[in-house]
Structure 1
C-alpha cells in the first residue's frame, strides 16, 4: 500500500479516516494591496499516534502552517485563502470561532517556541494549567489543581506542588517548557503541535525535552506535528518528514528514507550543513544565500538561485511534485 498517494492525488488510501489531513492549504499576507503567499499549496496526512516532522530554515512557512491549522494567524494582514484542514474528518476552516475555541487546547494543543513569552507572567503555573481543565472538562478548581500537579509530575517537574504556586520567571527555561507541555496535555488532546520546542534550550535540556515528548506520546497515544529547523532532531522523533522551502513542501517521505538518501537539492544541502561526529573531519558546506522574502519569490523553481544543480529551465518553469522511490519531491532534475 502506497502511503504517499494522498498528497499527490488528493485521495488517502489508508484504512479509516486520518487524524489530520491538510489539503492544498494556502495562507497569504495582504500588504499594500499585494497578496504575498507565505504558505502555498501545502498538503500532508497525519495518522493517529504518529509523528510528522516539518523541517526547513526560518522563513520557510513551518510555523505559519501550524498557526493556520490552529486558526491563530494574525488577521489582518494574514488570511487563509484556500485549501482544507480536515481534523477527524471535519474541516476546521469551516468552523466558527466558538467551535474553534472548543477544539484549541482540548482536541488540538500547541507547544510554542519560547515559553517565557507564551506563559502569562502575572499568573501562577497552577492557574494557567488548571484553566484549560476547568474550561474544557468542567472540573472544579480543586480537581483541576490536583490534575495539574499530576501533569507536572508526569512531565518530570521536581516538587510539582510547589511549582503550581510559582510564576514563570521563577522557573528555569527547561522547567517552563515542561510546564508548557503539561498545559498542552491537560485535556488529553488527540494532536500535539510542537513548534520548535527546544530552540531556546541548551543541548542537555533539549535532549531531555525530546525524550519527554516521545515518552508522553507512547503513554498517551497522541499524534505529534513536530516543527524544527534541525534534521538531527527530526531523526530522533519523526516517523515521516516534510521538508519545506519558501512556503512549499519540496520533499516528503519516511524519515529514514529522506535522511539516508535525500532527493531534493535543498534536503541534501540541509544535511551537508550538519556537523558529524563520525567519519573523517571535513568542513561544513553551508547553503549559499538565504530564503527569499515572500514579497520577492523567484520565478520557476524557488530554490534555483541557491541550487548548485540549476539548469536554464529551472529559472523559468515551476516544478510539480512527483512520486519517486516511495516519496514525493518537487524538482526538475530528479528522475
Structure 2
C-alpha cells in the first residue's frame, strides 16, 4: 500500500468515526420529559398533603372559609439513563425551586406556581466534557375539587420553556473539534387524577387513585457552532405522549411532638403506562472540513411502563406547614432519585 492509499484509508476511517460520533450524540432521549416529571411531582405533593389533612380535619370544622397560602419547595435530584439502540445514555443532576400561591375554599383548592430548574446531563460516551445544560422555566396552574362520598379530583396544567445548550467534542482523525449547540424547547402538560379517601383507622388514610396524563414537547430553532463546524441544519423534534396512571397514597398520623402539630408520614406508589406515543424523525446535516455528514435519527420511544415510589414526613408549626419528600422513579432504561423540602405559610 503506497502513501496515497494510506492517506485515503485514514481519511475514510476519520469520516466513518465522525459519522458514528454524530449518530450517538443526538438530543433524542427526552431529557426535557425528566424535568417535567420533576416539576409535576413537586406540584402533586402539594395537593397530596392537602388531601390527607382535609380528611383528618373534615369533621372538625364545616363552616365556609377561605384559606390562602404561599409556599416554596426546593429540590435536588439525580438521574441515570442507559444506552438506547446506538445512542449514548447520560447521568444527570437537577436542582431547582418552585414558588406557589393558592386559595382553599371549603376544601377546594386553586393555585398557580412558578418553577425554575437547572439540569446538567453528562453523556456516557467516554468523554468527560460532553454534556447538556437545560434551564427550565415552568408555569403551572393546579386545582383540587372535593366530590361526594370521599372522592376528590386533582387537575394540573403546565407550560414550560427550556433553554438547552449542548457541549460536544468530536474527533476527526488527530483533530479535536468542539461543538456548541443552542436551542430551545416548549413543553405542555395536562394531568387529571381521581382520588378516593378511605379512613382505615383514626390515624391511617389510604387513597387509591386513577388518572390520565398528556404531554407535548416541541423543539425550536437549532444552532450549532464551533471551530471547523461550517454548517448545520436540523429538523425540529416533536413528541406527544398520552398515558394512564394507577396508584395509591397512604398517610399515617403521628402523635404531636413539642410544638409540631399534624405530624404524619406519607407513602405513595404509582404505575404509569403509555397508551399512545407519537414521535418524529430528526434529519441532521453538518459540514466539517468541507465534508458533509448526514444523519437520520429515529427518536426512541419511551418504555411503555414506568414506576414511581415515594415517602415523606409532614408537620405544622403555628401557621407554617413543612413537608420533606423523597421520590424514586424508574423504567426499563431510566432511574432517578429526587428529594425536596416544602415550606408553606398560611396567610
| Bin for the TM-score computed over the shorter chain | under 0.3
Q: What TM-score, normalized by structure 1, do the two folds share?
A: 0.22
Name which one, 1 or 2, has greater alpha-carbon Rg. 2
Between 1 and 2, higher relative CO (CA 8 Å, sep ≥ 6) is seen in: 1
Structure holding more helix per residue: 1
Q: What TM-score, normalized by structure 2, do the two folds share?
A: 0.21
